Amino acid sequence: MSKEETQSKKKKAGRIIRRVIIIFVIANLVLALPSASFAETLVLKSKGDHERTVEEYTRVWLDDVTGIDSYAFEEKYQMESFLIPSTGTKNYRIPAFHYMPEGEPKGFVVMAHGMNSSHIVIYHEAEVFLLEGFEVYSFDERKFGESTFGYVGYGYLEGMDVKDVYQFAYDQAEERVFHMQEQDKNTEDTSGKRYLCGIWGQSMGGAGCENAMDEEPLVSTLDFAILDCPMGPMEDLTGAPKPQNWLAGKMNPLVSGFSFDQQNPIPQLKNVTADVLLLLAGDEKVIPKQSTQAIQKVLEEAPCELTVYVSDGSEHADIIVDDSAGYRNTIHDFLESIN
């Protein structure tokens, strides 16, 4: 075989190898992109009629499943709405909502809903806190409800929003002449009762709360956190093989501006000192078991008081529907234990 023929064969083999590599990379990109964006960050759906339809559907669902008339709820609890400037995202304002209980509040709770919903969908859970005497602040998570943000943050960006809404709620409480605890969270007000500051997050909202718990002002002022079927790392949730998860993790900063490592909320829990209630669904099919176990393990090792409630037979984010009495009683007892 001549030298020219040998070089020609080498070039041909090289082209074949390069094509195989390109095909492999493209195939992995196709598989990895949904993992990186979880099929949402790349689908920048228009709002308008679509969002109005979602809101209408949510209101009908709430009435049918829980018996709560959302419009009557908003009137009864004096709903106010705010646009809170985001400290983590330039030119973004968080659509937030406030509800007042009857009588003098015992404290406030910031509530973060899950994916593919809005603040309206958690009125059932919000009423639990309102009936317990707590002010409620909620907000529409990124891309949902009245949010103008283009994509979902899977608990990473939402953690920034939890922090900002919490700061707003804290400042509002100070303006209502309540003596807020600053350095020592056991400080008492002039009536001898503490004004409790808390957060509650469900599913992706749970990941947002987890990510916010090692941020100020939560570190020094947070009294309690309730995590309802909370989400953990994206890598657990995608269900993709390890090579695709690895590639997705590398691509996500290009798509969403943050990595899977940054999104992972579990490391933020290791130094939590606030009392924590972990609500788990016995028939959980959305959050992988390894995520739930990892969240519980780090909280058991953290310097916090941890309470765990497992609702047998309940499905993801439906504990209050499937086990209403257990849900309400558990939260009541938990809040009473803080007082």
Predicted pLDDT at 237: 75
Residue range 208-220: mean pLDDT, rounded: 96
Is the separation of the CB atoms in 245 and 192 below 8 Å? no
The full set of domain ranges for the chain reads: 38-230+265-338
Compare 140 and 41 and report the one with higher pLDDT.
140
End-to-end Cα spacing for the chain:
89
AA letter at 102: E
Most confident of 2-16, 21-35, 202-216: 202-216
CATH top class, domain 38-230+265-338: alpha beta
Q: Is the pLDDT of residue 146 over 90?
A: yes
pLDDT-derived band at 16, boundaries 50, 70, 90? low
Q: How far is Cα 213 from Cα 166, in angstroms, rounded to an integer?
A: 11
The least confident of 34-38, 219-223, 234-238, 328-332 is: 34-38
- Dump pLDDT digits (tens) for 37-50: 443 433 333 344 45
Predicted pLDDT at 15: 57
Is the separation of the CB atoms in 251 and 33 below 8 Å? yes
Compare 9 and 145 and report the one with higher pLDDT.
145
CA nearest neighbour of 228 among 309, 321, 332, 128: 309
Compare 222 and 39 and report the one with higher pLDDT.
222
Percentage with pLDDT > 90 across the chain: 61
Q: Is the pLDDT of residue 179 over 70?
A: no
Q: How far is Cα 125 from Cα 139, in angstroms, rounded to an integer?
A: 14
Predicted pLDDT at 238: 67
Q: Kindly report the average pLDDT of the chain as a whole number.
A: 83
CA angle in degrees (0–180, nearest 5) for 20-23-27? 140
Predicted pLDDT at 193: 61
Do you find a cis peptide bond into 288, omega within 30 degrees of 0? no
- Dump pLDDT digits (tens) for 243-285: 666 677 777 777 778 888 888 999 999 999 999 999 999 999 9
Predicted pLDDT at 127: 97
CA nearest neighbour of 318 among 294, 297, 275, 287: 287
- Residues recorded for the chain: 339
- Dump pLDDT digits (tens) for 288-300: 999 999 999 999 9
The least confident of 128-142, 227-241, 299-313 is: 227-241
